[in-house]
Amino acid sequence: MMTSWTKTLVLPANQAAISLKDQLIRWQVPRRVRGNFRIEQRIHLNGHYQPTSTILNPGDKLQMTWLAHDFITPDSHYLPDDSQALAVLFENDDFMVVNKQQGVKSHPNSPGEDGTMMNFAQAYLSRQNKNAYMVHRLDSQTTGALIIAKVPYIVPMLNQKLHDKTIKRTYLAWVNGILDENQGTITLPIGDHPTNQRLRQINGEHAKQAITHWTKVKTGYQQTLVRLVLETGRTHQIRLHMAAIGHPLVGDDLYNLQTNYPGGLLLHSAAVQIPIPFTTKIIAIGAPLPASFPVNIN
C-alpha cells in the first residue's frame, strides 16, 4: 500500500492574487516537492489539476498530496510509550507544542529506546493514526516548549522557519553571579570539543556562528535570572555562551564547575513564536514553569 499524506485548504477571503507556484514558494514548500507536485499532478485546484501558473482566488479549494519519495525520511519509527502523559500546549492537524519535563531526553539514541519525549508523543499521536516527527531538540535537563511534527511534510517547512529565524524561541535561566549590564548579545562561534563527544567548545573544531541575546530579569543571592532569545540553535549554545562570559548556568554539570545546586539545570524553554504553515497567522505559545524551576533563589 502506498503511503500518502493529503492536505486540503480553502483559501481565505484575503488570498493574494498570485500564481499557485508563488503561493507554494511563500508557504516554503520545498522546491523538490513543488516539482513532484507538478510532474505527477498531485496538486489539485478546485477538484482537478491546473498549471502552477494559475492565479489563485479567495475561496479556492486546494488539495496537495505528498508521497514517501518526497522526503528523505518519510516515516518515523519511535516506539510508543504511554508511561508518561504528554502536556500539550498547542496542537493543530500538522504539529504540536508540548511541555518537556526535566531529565527526559528529546529523542532516543537507539532504535529500541523508549522513555523520551518522542516516544511519549508517538503514543499520544498513535490514537490519531499519526506519527511523531522531530523538528528540534532540547537538552535532557532543559524543560519547556518543544515542537513536534505530526506529518512529515511539515518538518522541512518548520525547519526552514527555524533557519530563517521566523520561529522565535525564548528561554529563562538562572546564572551564577550578578550581570553588570541589563542586556547584551553573545556572538562566539561554537564547535566540537577535541576530546569529549558530549561537550561543545567556543571556537572548537568545525565552529559555526552562534548568536544569543540576553536580558536581565531579576537578581537573587549571587545569581541572576536572565531571559534569552536564540538566533541560532547550536548544541549547548546558551550553556556555553553564558559560561564564556563568566556567568554559567546554575545546575549545569558540564560547563559550571562551581555548581552545587541539587535541583538540576535551571534552563527553561519559556515560549515559542511560530508562523503557522499554510496561513498568515503567528501564534505565541508559553510553557508554564515547572516546580523544579524556582522563581527566586536564596
Residue 119, SS3?
Answer: helix
Catalytic residue list contains 22: no
Measured distance between the N- and C-terminal CA atoms of the chain, rounded to whole angstroms: 61
CA nearest neighbour of 100 among 131, 79, 121: 121
Q: Which candidate in 81, 94, 139, 252 is catalytic? A: 139
Q: What H or E segment, with its residue span, contains residue 33?
A: helix 31-39
| Dihedral pair phi/psi, residue 11, rounded to 5° | -70, 145
Name the burial class of residue 293, with classes exposed (0-12), middle (13-18) and buried (19+) by CB atoms within 10 angstroms of its CB.
buried
Contact, 62 vs 44, CB < 8 A? yes
| Dist CA 88 CA 40 (whole Å) | 37
| Dist CA 165 CA 152 (whole Å) | 21
Identify the DSSP state of 98.
Answer: E
Contact, 248 vs 239, CB < 8 A? yes
Catalytic sites, residue numbers = 139
